[in-house]
Amino acid sequence: MSLLQVTYFSEALARTTTFYMYLPNDVPEGTRKGNIHYERPTKTLYLLHGYSGTASDWVTGSSAQELAIQYNLAIVMPSGENSFYLNGKGTGRAFETFVGKELISYVTRTFGLSDKKEDNFIGGLSMGGFGAIHTGLKYPENYGKMFGLSSAFIINSIKDMKPGTKDGLADYDYYVQTFGPLEDLEESENNPEYVVKRRIENGEEIQPIFMACGTEDFLLQENRNFYNFLKDCRVQVTYQEAPGVHNWKFWDKHLEPAIQWLLGQEL
């Protein structure tokens, strides 16, 4: 198992950026023997960190390395800063383009991994859960499945904010810079619900989605609401609730079930 720290120039971000990557390229034969996941080529999972996090969060906070070995899964962990993985205004803020198109193209090309959408997945926690599902919805040609843990589906919570106000996460100016004019959010490409509705209107099938949230998480209602929205839209969605708050204990516990779901295993 290799842990790589890769720095390259990102055109989307107009600067060099660093991502971490687990690559199960030298797993011992004894570990591979009898493991059905090594009877196929390596698949790839892009894991997105949360608000105020960094590219190394999944390395230090989770069992991603062991799961990469067990499931023959390359795991790519980029930095999204506090962008919600959206394209902000101005040069160097195209985080949606970075994760949705540029990074996956760079990784598949550089490391010889599959570029088929059925072999590439995206997931994340909190802000990264929002980013993973939004990115998966916007780039279905690249990502076959997506998941979010304690996802920050905050669109409906912030759309009516007024100048000079703030909530427990950030202030009005941050949200405008990140999401665009808040009064336009309901009909914005930055709103996952709008993207789902637009794709369905265009006759497109939405890829499967996995969600999990703790029953004591402050984002529980937002996750329930988005799950119910997806069900109403007849999107194939798997949703789990379990005791837990907004922390790594919950996220790491649900990372393996999410990966099993990605790979088509029964939960």
Which of helix, strand or coil describes residue 110?
helix
When pLDDT is averaged across residues 245-262 and rounded to a whole number, the result is 98
When pLDDT is averaged across residues 224-234 and rounded to a whole number, the result is 98
161 CA to centre of own chain? 26
**In this predicted model, what pLDDT tens digit does every residue of 58-115 receive, in sequence order?**
999 999 999 999 999 999 999 999 999 999 999 999 999 999 999 999 999 999 999 9
User: In the prediction, which pLDDT does 267 show?
Assistant: 55
User: In the prediction, which pLDDT does 265 show?
Assistant: 81
When pLDDT is averaged across residues 232-246 and rounded to a whole number, the result is 98
Sign of CA dihedral 40, 117, 240, 68: positive
Percent share of the chain, pLDDT over 90:
96
Q: Is 215 a residue whose pLDDT tops 80?
A: yes
Which of helix, strand or coil describes residue 219?
coil
When pLDDT is averaged across residues 121-147 and rounded to a whole number, the result is 98
Q: Is 1 a residue whose pLDDT tops 70?
A: yes
Q: Is 188 a residue whose pLDDT tops 90?
A: yes
If one counts every other C-beta atom within 10 angstroms of the C-beta of residue 32, the result is: 14
Q: What is the DSSP string of 133-185?
A: HHHHHH-TTT-SEEEEES----HHHHTT--TT-B-SS-BHHHHHHHHS-GGGG
User: In the prediction, which pLDDT does 236 show?
Assistant: 98
Cβ–Cβ < 8 Å for 210, 262: yes
User: In the prediction, which pLDDT does 30 show?
Assistant: 85
Between 192-201 and 220-232, two packed helices, what is the crossing angle to 10 degrees? 0
When pLDDT is averaged across residues 182-193 and rounded to a whole number, the result is 97
> CA 183 to CA 176: how far, in whole Å?
10
DSSP-based helix, strand, coil % in the chain, nearest 5: 40, 20, 40
Q: What is the DSSP string of 23-71?
A: E-SS--HHHHTT-GGGGSPPEEEEEE--TT--TTHHHHHS-HHHHHHHT
- As a whole number of Å, the CA-based R_g of the chain is 18
> CA 142 to CA 120: how far, in whole Å?
7
**In this predicted model, what pLDDT tens digit does every residue of 3-58 receive, in sequence order?**
999 999 999 999 999 999 999 998 988 889 999 999 999 999 999 999 999 999 99
Across the chain, what does the average pLDDT equal?
Answer: 97
> CA 193 to CA 186: how far, in whole Å?
8
